[in-house]
Amino acid sequence: MPRIFSGIQPSGELHIGNYLGAVKNWVALQGQFEAFFCVVNYHAITLPYAKADLESRTREMAIGLLASGLDPAKCTLFIQSQVPEHTELAWIFNTLTPLGELERQTQFKEKSAWQEQVMAGILNYPVLQAADILLYRADLVPVGEDQIQHLELSRVIARNWNARFSPDAPYFPEPQPKLTPTRRIVGLDGQAKMSKSVGNTVGLMDSPEAMWDKLRPAVTDPARQKKTDPGDPDKCAAIFPLHRAFSTDTTVAEVEANCRGAKWGCIDCKKVLHANMVAELTPIRSRAAELKTAPAAVDAAFAEGAEKARAVARATIADVKSRMGLPQ
Site for ligand TRP, rule CB under 6 A = 5-7, 9, 40, 43, 129, 132-133, 141, 143, 147, 150
Selected catalytic residue, list 111, 235, 292, 321: 111
Tell me the three state secondary structure of residue 167: coil
- Residue 132 or residue 206: which is nearer to ligand TRP going by CB? 132
Nearer to ligand TRP, 147 or 201 (CB): 147
What's the closest the beta carbon of residue 6 comes to ligand TRP, in angstroms?
4
β-pairing verdict for 176-179 and 140-143: parallel
Which residue, 60 or 221, is less far from ligand TRP as judged by CB?
Answer: 60
How far apart CA 174 and CA 159 sit, in angstroms, is 7
Q: Which of helix, strand or coil describes residue 309?
A: helix
To the query of whether residue 227 is one of the catalytic residues in this protein, the response is: no
Does 193 qualify as catalytic in the annotation? Answer: yes
- SS3 of 181-245: the string is CCCCCECCCCCCECCCCCCCCCECCCCHHHHHHHHCCCCCCCCCCCCCCCCCHHHCCCHHHHHHH
> Quick check: 252 and 243 in contact, CB under 8 A?
yes
- Between residues 75 and 218, which has the closer beta carbon with respect to ligand TRP? 75
Instruction: Kindly state the smallest distance separating residue 141's Cβ from ligand TRP, in Å.
Output: 5
Q: Are the C-beta atoms of 186 and 237 separated by less than 8 Å?
A: yes
> Which residue in the list 51, 109, 178, 193 is annotated as catalytic?
193
**CA–CA dist 58, 90 (Å, integer):** 22
Burial tier of 137 (Cβ tally within 10 Å: 0-12, 13-18, 19+) = middle
Catalytic pick among 24, 74, 196, 235: 196
Give residue number: closest CB to ligand TRP: 7
Give the contacts of 169 (CB within 8 A, at least 6 positions apart): none
Closest distance to ligand TRP from the beta carbon of 265 (Å)? 37
Find the shortest distance in angstroms from Cβ 152 to ligand TRP. Answer: 13
- Find the shortest distance in angstroms from Cβ 315 to ligand TRP: 19
Q: Is 308 a catalytic residue?
A: no
Nearer to ligand TRP, 5 or 264 (CB): 5
List residues with catalytic annotation.
Answer: 111, 193, 196
